[in-house]
Amino acid sequence: MGERDNGSWGRNRPLSKAWAARAMNRFLGSTDAEQGAGESGGEDTAVVDCGVYVAGERIPGTFTPDQALAEVHRRDDAFVWLGLHQPSEREMTAIARIYGLHELTVEDAVKAEQRPKLEQFGDVHFLVLRTTRYVPHQELTENSQVVETGQMMIFIGDRFVITVRHGEASEMSPVRADLEKQRAALLEQGPWAVAYAVTDRVVDSYLEVAEQVEADLDMIEEGVFSRDRSAPIQEVYQLKRELVEFRRAVVPLQRPLAGIIASQGVVPKEIRRYFRDVQDHLTRTVEQVSSYDDLLNSILQARLAQVTVDQNNDMRKIAAWAGIATAWTAAAGIYGMNFEYMPELHWRYGYSGLMAVLALVTVVLYRAFRRNGWL
């Protein structure tokens, strides 16, 4: 598509904050006078983008969510793609009223505390994904955040698809741009094509995070088994906690994807083939996460064994030096009792002789402990 004139949408032109705020205020029941902050950019809106697609092509023009749906009903082979970011309950309720979304899904979309799942409410399917993002860090500490998670909710209807994103991971702008510029044929398949593209982007981010976590795991493994043993057990445990969080995002998605692939008559056959490819990538990630978890358990057990061995070595050293000191303690105890009749007390070489005997005992014990590996 070429350049657009007279304020119409370009494919990559973002929704202005002032226009978006006015649009949201209008169908929420507020006026520009009541929400004047929207003009100045002080009033944020959950609407990131709202486009109408006909036969895989985005039509020119700017639309509010209700205008976009009305435009779709006037055309054949058209659907709405509405993108939201962390909507408030008021905003989500208004959108649910326009698009006929179930009230239970509104609560889920606002709170964003759901496991990956696929539910159907009438003609609308509700797909929940967990998004992930690797948090760069120079070194892993006991407080490092390795994996940041968020949520992505997708409402798929006959003539619309609504994506609701929570968190900073898996931005939808690149997905939308890729579909509009390079995959118009896929967009012709309708809302489920968008659901596939979003799911594919989320699962690809799993693979990216898994590769970065593997690098951290290699560093931990190298530190644990190096001679200086520079990796404390707290760092190993912290990485394990982050891996558990990552696992909670990845593993539960297998069932929803299997449900989509098995849903004949709802998801177009061609789109189900694409979802099978996503499932293959997800299976690979699940296997990676499982292997990382097993390896991290082994590293943790090895580190605990090293700590136990180090403690035993310290106890043996303490016991060896205590044994050496026992000879001196015994001599001091005997001669400290102030007996009157002790021949060594009046012997001219008594003191030097005792010191020589104690020194000899010390050398013999030290060599014996060294030979046995106690010192």
Same domain, 139 and 227: yes
Same domain, 242 and 326: no
- Provide the pLDDT for residue 36: 35
Which of 256, 287, 305 marks a domain boundary? Answer: 305
Q: Classify residue 11: in a domain, yes or no.
A: no
Q: If DSSP codes are grouped into helix, strand and coil, which group holds residue 328?
A: helix
Q: Classify residue 283: in a domain, yes or no.
A: yes
pLDDT at 39 over 70: no
Q: Classify residue 2: in a domain, yes or no.
A: no
Higher-confidence residue of 337 and 313: namely 313
**What confidence tens digit (pLDDT) does each residue in 60-111 have?**
888 889 899 999 898 888 999 999 999 988 999 999 999 999 888 888 888 8
- Provide the pLDDT for residue 19: 44
Same domain, 121 and 265: yes
Among 23-37, 151-165, 208-222, 313-327, which stretch is predicted with the lowest mean pLDDT? 23-37
- Provide the pLDDT for residue 31: 37
- Provide the pLDDT for residue 228: 63
Distance CA 96, CA 347 (A): 106
Whether residue 250 contacts residue 285, with contact meaning beta carbons closer than 8 Å, is answered with yes
- Enclosing domain of residue 336: 310-371
Alpha helices, H only, the chain: 17-28, 37-40, 65-73, 89-99, 103-111, 173-182, 184-187, 191-225, 233-250, 254-262, 269-335, 350-371
Same domain, 293 and 344: no
Same domain, 171 and 272: yes
Q: What is the mean pLDDT of residues 229-254?
A: 83
Q: What is the mean pLDDT of residues 166-178?
A: 84
- Provide the pLDDT for residue 80: 92
Same domain, 258 and 365: no
Q: Classify residue 6: in a domain, yes or no.
A: no
Same domain, 315 and 300: no
Percent of the chain whose pLDDT exceeds 70: 84
The token pair at 324 is: 């050496």
Distance CA 138, CA 354 (A): 60
pLDDT at 327 over 50: yes
Q: What CATH number should be reported for the domain holding residue 206?
A: 3.30.460.20
pLDDT at 230 over 60: no
- Provide the pLDDT for residue 29: 45
Torsion of CA 29, 35, 39, 40, to 10 degrees: -150
pLDDT at 2 over 50: no
Q: In which residue are the tokens 């990538």 written?
A: 281
- Provide the pLDDT for residue 40: 32
Which of 305, 331, 360 marks a domain boundary? Answer: 305
* Strand arrangement of the beta sheet that strand 47-54 belongs to: 57-58, 47-54, 78-85, 160-166, 147-156, 124-134, 117-121
Whether residue 185 contacts residue 56, with contact meaning beta carbons closer than 8 Å, is answered with yes
- Provide the pLDDT for residue 38: 34
Which of 305, 325, 341 marks a domain boundary? Answer: 305
Q: Classify residue 28: in a domain, yes or no.
A: yes
Burial class (CB within 10 angstroms; exposed 0-12, middle 13-18, buried 19+) of 209: buried
Q: Classify residue 10: in a domain, yes or no.
A: no
Among 30-44, 216-230, 242-256, 285-299, which stretch is predicted with the lowest mean pLDDT? 30-44
Q: What is the mean pLDDT of residues 223-229?
A: 67
- Provide the pLDDT for residue 33: 33
Closest Cα partner for 44 from 19, 78, 61, 26? 19
Higher-confidence residue of 232 and 213: namely 213
Whether residue 266 contacts residue 231, with contact meaning beta carbons closer than 8 Å, is answered with no
pLDDT at 368 over 60: yes
pLDDT at 170 over 70: yes
Distance CA 229, CA 220 (A): 10
In this prediction, residue 231 has a pLDDT band, given cuts at 50, 70 and 90, of low
Closest Cα partner for 362 from 320, 327, 316, 314? 327
Torsion of CA 279, 284, 288, 291, to 10 degrees: 100
Same domain, 185 and 323: no
- Provide the pLDDT for residue 341: 67
Same domain, 287 and 333: no
Distance CA 240, CA 32 (A): 51
Whether residue 62 contacts residue 54, with contact meaning beta carbons closer than 8 Å, is answered with no
Instruction: Of 11-15, 30-34, 214-218, give the range with the top mean pLDDT.
Output: 214-218
pLDDT at 13 over 60: no
How far CA 274 is from CA of 251, 285, 347, in Å, comes to 19, 17, 101
pLDDT at 277 over 80: yes
Residues in the chain: 375
- Provide the pLDDT for residue 125: 93
- Provide the pLDDT for residue 48: 87
Q: Classify residue 363: in a domain, yes or no.
A: yes
Overall domain count for the chain: 2
pLDDT at 127 over 90: yes
Among 107-116, 129-138, 174-183, 223-232, which stretch is predicted with the lowest mean pLDDT? 223-232
Same domain, 262 and 275: yes
Q: How much is the mean pLDDT over the chain?
A: 80
Q: What is the mean pLDDT of residues 353-359?
A: 84
Q: What CATH number should be reported for the domain holding residue 364?
A: 1.20.58.340
Q: Classify residue 9: in a domain, yes or no.
A: no
The token pair at 328 is: 């001196």
Q: Kindly tell me the sign of the dihedral angle through the C-alpha atoms of 26, 31, 35, 37.
A: positive
**What confidence tens digit (pLDDT) does each residue in 56-65 have?**
888 888 888 9
Distance CA 67, CA 311 (A): 72
Q: What is the mean pLDDT of residues 130-144?
A: 83
- Provide the pLDDT for residue 21: 44
Same domain, 191 and 318: no
- Provide the pLDDT for residue 187: 87
Same domain, 250 and 353: no
